[in-house]
Amino acid sequence: MDLDGKVCVVTGAASGIGEEIARQFGARGATVAMIDVRAETAGQVAEQITEKGPGSAAEFSCDLRSVQEIEAALAAITARFGRLDVVVNVAGLANRTPVEDITEAEWDLLNDVNLKAPFFVAQQAYRVMLTQKSGKIINIASHRAHTTDGNHLIYAATKAGLQAVTRDLAVAGGRHGIEVNTVSPGYVLTPMTEHNLRNE
């Protein structure tokens, strides 16, 4: 996969799946815009990607709970690089709170990060891609959108919602050359899931 000259945006790029996607894009020649609230960590990863080449990376600090910060980050990326070719919405939070103990604050937090943020990131990218008449948006959902263990209610709801958002974006964008898809991983060894993978 040759991404030479492509501008690729990755959210949640400071660690886990987002970090690995950013590294793989850089290794294939892309210019990677790394969005993460952990600016220092993302900046360190961006430096490593650039040093290794052949692509390059830059960090853009953003609290994805804020639509205003999302708009500012995507505007800065577009102004700096001139286009958006690929956007991957990776950033997310999980919960294992028993149903009877879920609070409004936890509900709002996971919905803000896992569902609202990917839509508004995609919306900003979509507007740019409409003018280009091309682009790809990839939303990272989860197997929890399809399966349940009774312990991930909010997470599962947000990931199922993200699949619905993706379907609508795909139909709306397809006629304009914009492809929108989800990927639904199972367990991947990341800081967020390692406690599960140690449980025999």
Find the angle CA(116)-CA(120)-CA(125) to the nearest 5 degrees: 150
Of 155, 156, 159, 178, catalytic: 155
Which tens digits make up the pLDDT trace of 83-121? 999 999 999 999 889 999 999 999 999 999 999 999 999
For the chain, how many helices (H) and strands (E)?
Answer: 7, 6
Burial track 109-127 (b if 16+ CB lie within 10 A, e otherwise)? ebbbbbbbbbbbbbbbbbe
- Residue with the bigger pLDDT between 186 and 160: it is 160
155 a catalytic residue: yes
Q: Where are the beta strands (DSSP E) in 23-177?
A: 31-36, 56-61, 86-89, 135-140
- Chain mean pLDDT for the chain: 94
pTM: 0.92
